[in-house]
Amino acid sequence: MAESQQGPRVSVLFVCLGNICRSPTAEGVVQSLVDKAGLSAFVRLDSAGTNNYHQGEEADPRTRRAAAARGVSITHRARQVVPSDFEQFDLLLALDVNNEAVLLGQAPPAAKASVKLFRSFDPDSPARASVPDPYFGGVEGFEEVLDQCERAGAGLLAELRRVYGF
Ligand code: 4NP
């Protein structure tokens, strides 16, 4: 989006259902990768949910605990996707196929191409793979979310470097 010399060169919004488990994890994991690569001036990240059940809440304690154990801090407060997100973000990355469908249903025609599945950036993931919702399961689900976000995040960063040249 912003083409100014100082501003971020690319912006990415991660989107799940509640914005308290998967998409804040994706945001936190990728932010950590971006920071380690020294690219925080070039990449702007945020996350949102397609519903508003948890609007304003911190991420699920299980999400924050599992991420913290890997050195990833999650401070995000849940918010719902708003129409301006389709103009503000270069990429809207859905954590699963259901939320991808919701985004595609809401996106104005010009923004549909910016909606993708996050795991499509992991070259080793199956086609059309989702990050499963861990909310109603055990702690192992939160570890799986982190594993999948780390792999997809590495692929995403490699692709952004290639496309944007940083
Ligand atoms: P998320 O997980 O979409 O990864 O944030 C969920 C959080 C809350 C609910 C469902 C999924 N819920 O039904 O409240």
Nearest residue (by CA) to ligand 1, atom 8, is: 18
Beta bridge partners of 117: 94
C-alpha to C-alpha distance for 19 and 21, rounded to whole angstroms: 6
Alpha helices in 37-83 (DSSP H): 61-68
Calpha distance 53→29 (Å, rounded): 23
- Out of 63, 133, 142, 146, give the residue to mutate to test ligand 1, the one with the largest number of ligand atoms within 8 Å of its CB: 133
Question: Nearest 5°: phi and psi at 55?
Answer: -45, 125
Measured CA to CA, the distance from residue 75 to residue 64 in angstroms comes to 8
Domain ranges for the chain: 10-164
Residue type present at position 75: T
Across the beta sheet with 43-49, what order do the strands follow?
A: 43-49, 10-16, 91-94, 115-117
Of the pLDDT bands very low, low, confident and very high (cuts 50, 70, 90), residue 7 is: confident
Alpha carbon 79 to its chain centroid, in Å, reads 13
Q: By the 8 A CB rule, do 10 and 92 touch?
A: no
Domain range 10-164, CATH class = alpha beta
pLDDT at 95: 99
How far, CA to CA in Å, does 93 sit from each of 6, 68, 165?
24, 23, 20
pTM of the model as a whole: 0.96
- State pLDDT tens for residues 110-149: 999 999 999 999 999 999 999 999 999 999 999 999 999 9
The residues annotated as belonging to the active site are 16, 22, 133
Report the half-sphere exposure of 101 (CA within 13 A, side-chain side). Answer: 5
- pLDDT tens digits, one per residue of 55-105: 999 999 999 999 999 999 999 999 999 999 999 999 999 999 999 999 999
Q: Is 22 in the pocket of ligand 1 (CB under 6 A)?
A: yes
> What are the structure tokens assigned to 160, written together?
């952004």
